[in-house]
Structure 1
Amino acid sequence: MKFSVFSASTPEWTPEEAAAELAAQGWHGIEWRVTDQADSPEPGFWAGNKATWPMTGLEDSLPEIARLTSEAGLEYSGLGGYARCDNHDGVERVLAATAALGARQVRVNVLPLGNSNMGGQEPSGLSYPELFAATREHYEWVAERAAHYGVKALVELHHGTVTASASSARRLLEGLDPQHVGVIHDLGNLLIEGWESPLPALELLGPYLAHVHVKNARWVRTDERDAAGAAVWVNEWAPLAEGQASVLAYFKALAEVGYDGWVTVEDFSTDLPLAERTAGNLEFLRRTADLAGLTVHSNADSLWKG
């Protein structure tokens, strides 16, 4: 097992600063965020994020991405792409970029639910069966193109999409080549929607378990009441050791299924300053992995030998 950071969660650092800081702290790798984003007067996770590579002109940025990553001594845990599976031109570009960098795997987003406004778009109003069938059709094409480039396209378990759970993701990918499509199991997202007990969920994914994202969340009761007079709860991101999910229990489940891949942290809590947050997360992950009986590779090792 190796640990990396998704650069969406390091908005205050430039790519140069992110690579240097994470390498100095002892992280094995980085997962670069790749998307066109809105401007913001202050750096934020989703807008004005300094550690994001724009999708526009991505091909011209590849030499600089490669240089910064290599000179810092970091590996790629993959690319954090935002191209949606129905945007074939965008998917083709991120697959090609992944191959050119030697990053091996990249997230390719599935379709959002019909009542979701993810990405600031208007809800489509389409039914789940319609959206699931369309996503499957697009992902058959994605799998073929990923095979062409010799990389893997990743479906993330994410609230508000057709693959909020491990069960839905396995159903989506069933019959496609797990050498070229796989699933990102995301502990924090599942607390919001799609929760299934980790061990059976990981067992269910089987060969499609390709990558792991770790963050944590909690549900907070507000002072509001709905129209029926019931309490209203909202979710918020939490530090790894303070959220509702047990990272230790999660790591024990990963050990049970023999997972030895990347664990990428995307901590969107803001309780601590960024440098303190990332350094503390690495210490916590190493301690938790040891308690769970997981083997953490040294920085000189590679997950990709052979």
Structure 2
Amino acid sequence: MAAIRYGYATISLPTLSLEEAARAAADAGFRGLECKLGDAPHAAGSSASTFLVGNRTTLDLDPAEGRRAARVCADAGLELIGVSPYVRTGDVAHLRRAFEVAAAAGAPQVRLQGPRPSPGGPGFHELFEAALGFVEHAAAHAAEHGVRLALEIHQHTIFPSASLAHLLVSRFDPALVGVIYDVGNMVLEGFEDHRIATELLGPHLHHVHLKNATYVPDSDDRGAVRRHLPRWSPLDDGVVDVPAVLAHLDGIGYTGWVSLEDLSTERDPLQTLRHNARVLTAIDAPGWAPGPQGAPPRPCTAAT
């Protein structure tokens, strides 16, 4: 019987080499790897800068890197779930290079993020039309490379919620364009009831990112009103009700990948990975089968 599959996103393992990350993920019981591809233009100002800057698992935008990632996955007994580049809306050349890496890696999907509004910049409608035109162009080429596009629900973009993401992806064949449902990002912006959100996305629900976040008092705030700011937190200590989210996904028959994309800093990245495996075991996460009792995954292979 098909079940949820669990993988790990290499953005969460910045201190490890790709080979070390794959071995650690496999040893902990994960079945796939989602690979960071290239550098993020917003890295320096991001709340996840320690994971974005100098991340040792990062693949270069070169098909040879895709083939290397495929070999690393195969050697560890992992599937290569997808690649996660940082393609700005309209950057066709960057997107095509990401497609080439994904095809060389045998990866089934390439992540996209929406435009980021800026003070004094274009408003939602202009940004949406730009994103729509870009995805139309991208979708026309995705099938040629044997990949699909996965639009990530992400704070500070014009697609921070399921409903706004659906506004775009509903115009496309779900075999080519879908959504990464990021439950941690939606703590920061865009949360909607999971039942409503997943029902709305339907076949466009391609992938899930699992992480957690909480709110803490702003230590620099000296105003009359005490503000609270979001902070990435351990999987088992935050706003996201992790057991309930996974039970819901299982209940609707979701059998795709759940990638853990943990950006918390309470533990070093390797200890965080191992801690997350223990959390999934402790909550009896549906589909989680750590250690040797789990069924072996299909190994990923490089495209010829």
TM-score by length of 1: 0.87
Aligned-pair CA distance for 1:302: 4.6
| Count of residues paired in the alignment | 288
1:129-168 to structure 2, matched below 5 A, reads 129-168=125-164
The residue identity in structure 1 corresponding to 2:196 is P
Which of the pair has the greater relative contact order for Cα pairs under 8 Å at 6+ separation?
2
Residue number among 221, 228, 234 corresponding to 2:229 in the alignment: 234
Aligned-pair CA distance for 1:20: 1.6
Cα distance change of structure 1 residues 303 and 64 upon mapping to structure 2, 3 Å threshold: closer
Distance in 2 between residues matched to 1:303 and 1:12, nearest whole Å: 25
Distance in 2 between residues matched to 1:289 and 1:203, nearest whole Å: 24
Aligned-pair CA distance for 1:289: 5.0
Aligned-pair CA distance for 1:299: 3.9
The equivalent residue for 1:197 is 193
1:62 corresponds to 2:66 = yes
Q: Structure 1: any 5+ residue segments left out of the alignment?
A: 116-123
The equivalent residue for 1:222 is 218
8 Å Cα contact 1:251-1:289 kept in structure 2: no
Cα distance change of structure 1 residues 199 and 35 upon mapping to structure 2, 3 Å threshold: same
Distance in 2 between residues matched to 1:185 and 1:162, nearest whole Å: 15
The residue identity in structure 1 corresponding to 2:168 is L
Aligned-pair CA distance for 1:163: 0.5
Distance in 2 between residues matched to 1:71 and 1:225, nearest whole Å: 50
Distance in 2 between residues matched to 1:223 and 1:18, nearest whole Å: 34
Residues 180-201 of structure 1: CA deviation (Å, up to 9, x unaligned): 1110000110000001011110
The equivalent residue for 1:260 is 255
Cα distance change of structure 1 residues 288 and 128 upon mapping to structure 2, 3 Å threshold: same
8 Å Cα contact 1:4-1:31 kept in structure 2: yes
Aligned-pair CA distance for 1:303: 11
Cα distance change of structure 1 residues 160 and 226 upon mapping to structure 2, 3 Å threshold: farther
Aligned-pair CA distance for 1:59: 2.1
8 Å Cα contact 1:251-1:288 kept in structure 2: no
Distance in 2 between residues matched to 1:233 and 1:211, nearest whole Å: 30
The equivalent residue for 2:50 is 44
8 Å Cα contact 1:4-1:27 kept in structure 2: yes
1:1-306 to structure 2, matched below 5 A, reads 1-36=4-39, 44-55=50-61, 58-115=62-119, 125-225=121-221, 229-290=224-285, 294-296=286-288, 298-302=294-298
- Note the aligned Cα RMSD (angstroms): 2.3
The percentage of counterpart residues that share the same residue type is 33
- Give the secondary structure class of the aligned counterpart of 1:66: helix
Cα distance change of structure 1 residues 37 and 132 upon mapping to structure 2, 3 Å threshold: closer
The equivalent residue for 1:119 is none
8 Å Cα contact 1:14-1:50 kept in structure 2: yes
Aligned-pair CA distance for 1:135: 0.6
Aligned-pair CA distance for 1:113: 1.7
Residues 103-143 of structure 1: CA deviation (Å, up to 9, x unaligned): 1011022211233xxxxxxxx61111110111111111111
TM-score by length of 2: 0.88
Cα distance change of structure 1 residues 303 and 287 upon mapping to structure 2, 3 Å threshold: farther
Distance in 1 between residues matched to 2:268 and 2:221, nearest whole Å: 34
